[in-house]
Amino acid sequence: MSTQTSETNIISNINEIQYKDEERRYHGNENAGYILPEDEIENDRMHMQHYCIKTFFGGNFDAPIEELLQQGITVLDSGCGPGAWTLDMAKMYPASKFHGVDISEVFPTEIKPNNVEFQVHNIAKSIPFPDNYFDYIHQRLLCMGLRKEEWSFVINNFMRALKPGGWFELTECTSPEMINQGPKMSILMEALSEVAKIKNLVPDISQHLERLMKEAGATNIIKKELSTPVNHTNKAGELLWKDFSMLYTAMRPIVSKKNPELTSEEAYRQFLNEAGEECKEYKTAFIWVRCYGQKSETIAGK
């Protein structure tokens, strides 16, 4: 690939997709904070990530909605990506109706269950549903997708769109902080922190979820925190490292900008392999937070 080709951005006006090289595809909407690729490789990573999170937390949700889901309720998956959570839940709870919303059309459009609907929409601008519409809203891992000023707006919109007594649940992974973080992992996380600062993202949003939910008026808030092994202890730890390494493979241009010795694909691949071995040695772990809360049964002014 020539230097000229590698530096050329081809923007698709239809899907607002930006092609930064011949291998990966990125979102080209300047109004969106999302920095990761949007292609089949990324979709595969997110499907794998879904089952890692489900294994670590022991399920797809913690809010007290099991019986309601079995009876049949209306659910929103905000920032649904390829729809891994949405489709898994739709299969488990056929009586409920699931809506998935994402900024790009990376979800299935034709082959999907009858109780699932997907649509393209930027939740940082609005939620395209009426007031008091959903019984449950789910969102996870948008720490590198929503800007600082957008978080309160999105959560307040959740409260608007929830029925009185409805629940919403947020799951995030804390970064750049990790448990037993080695020097190579620190280089990777510092790169993430720098791009987050430039884009005004909040990589440590997990530590602010409870406060944001309270400020939006949520009640009965429960916070669950856990640590998960990275590339050690069990199969889930190995899969989590695979997920992480795939994510950082896509972020090579960002990492190598500050570390030019990692510019070549070969050097960068070796560095990631060494970082994975470092995680085994240091017993590195991620910190996860899951918060859920409820909209009051009574609506102010009514």
Q: Is the pLDDT of residue 22 over 50?
A: no
253 within domain boundaries: yes
300 within domain boundaries: no
Average pLDDT over residues 154-174: 97
pLDDT at site 250:
83
Token code pair at residue 171? 């799951």
Q: What is the CATH number of the domain that holds 217?
A: 3.40.50.150
3-class secondary-structure state, position 87: helix
Q: Is the pLDDT of residue 26 over 80?
A: no
Query: Per DSSP, what are the bridge partners of residue 286?
Result: 228
Q: Is the pLDDT of residue 25 over 80?
A: no
Which has more confidence, 43 or 226?
226
CA 22 – CA 38 distance, rounded (Å) = 13
**C-alpha R_g of the chain:** 19
AA identity, residue 230: V
Q: Are the CB atoms for 141 and 78 separated by under 8 Å?
A: no
Token code pair at residue 137? 């809203």
In the chain, the number of structural domains is 1
212 within domain boundaries: yes
Summarised one tens digit per residue, pLDDT across range 254-300 is 899 889 999 999 999 999 999 999 999 999 999 999 999 999 987 54
Average pLDDT over residues 127-135: 96
As a whole-number percent, the residues of the chain with pLDDT over 90 amount to: 70
As a whole-number percent, the residues of the chain with pLDDT over 70 amount to: 85
Q: Say what the pTM is.
A: 0.85
Enclosing domain of residue 36: 3-294
